[in-house]
Structure 1
């Protein structure tokens, strides 16, 4: 199924849909709120390709989060997931994560991989609570102030042959 043919998921005031290039001004605003070293517009533009899945999370009529996932060698690699500052700890990030995991399974991926800053306790808590486990460490992976910061590599096996649960 072509990426743009994926269905739109709605749950209450949350809608998950395919991210569009015209969403980039809002994406960049959220990105700058969420990260000390945000991705540039050109990095985001480079993600609009057939082997990537880009998801937008709308709350009401406003873009409130996004996820960027690369499909490589039968694995889904979550490259970026960010929720607007005012929507953090609302369950929006969990909803978006569950959606991309379910879609990865439907697309036949064997697992979802990600890197997370060792110091990002809230993201680590989310990923562990959703079944991800630490499978490695990448020393100096993330830029930091005076020194670079390690990333924990996490994985969640998914069975693309069965029907994955839909987000709640």
Structure 2
């Protein structure tokens, strides 16, 4: 794997970034969001932020939805060629800074039970499992997969 160690440019994302977010999404998830999922989220006023490299190509992002005093992390992804280099942790730090700046009391998320790597990242960032949503995610062969619900408080 080619290392891409850089100081990323952190920025707010918009409709012009949907195609790149979609390409990353399709790389890293077995059941990726669609173009419509991203567009609907932005149209609904949800926030998206990410990292760009020196060529200003997007390589990591998160999408969040505010619910009263809580922030719901809807999507979080890092391009495969940038994984394992600390960018998820760095982007998580930006998410926490955003949470503090906006005075949200906690962050809630769902993660596939089978996504052990993501669960490990979230636990390392201070999230704790608080429940399970049975059959929350689509899985292969018309099956469903449980989601682990996790929360991190400020």
4+ long deviations beyond 3 Å: none
**What TM-score, normalized to structure 2?**
0.90
Q: Separation in 2 of the partners of 1:18 and 1:54?
A: 6
Q: 1:70 aligns with which of 46, 65, 68?
A: 65
Partner of 1:60, secondary structure, is coil
Question: Which residue does the alignment assign to 1:13?
Answer: 7
Question: Which residue does the alignment assign to 2:121?
Answer: 126
Question: Which residue does the alignment assign to 1:33?
Answer: 27
Is 1:155–2:133 an aligned residue pair? no
Question: Which residue does the alignment assign to 1:43?
Answer: 37
Q: CA deviation at 1:151?
A: 0.6
Q: CA deviation at 1:50?
A: 6.8
The CA deviation string for residues 130-152 of structure 1, in whole angstroms up to 9 with x for no partner, is 11100000011111013211110
**What TM-score, normalized to structure 1?**
0.83
Question: Which residue does the alignment assign to 2:3?
Answer: none
Q: CA deviation at 1:60?
A: 2.1
Q: CA deviation at 1:93?
A: 1.2
**Where do 5+ consecutive residues of structure 2 fail to align?**
1-5
Q: CA deviation at 1:49?
A: 4.6
Contact 1:57-1:66 at 8 Å conserved across structures: yes
| Higher share in helix | 2
Q: CA deviation at 1:57?
A: 1.2
Q: Separation in 1 of the partners of 2:145 and 2:53?
A: 32
Is 1:83–2:66 an aligned residue pair? no
Structural mapping, 1:52-63, within 5 Å: 52-61=46-55, 62-63=57-58
Q: Separation in 2 of the partners of 1:51 and 1:112?
A: 17
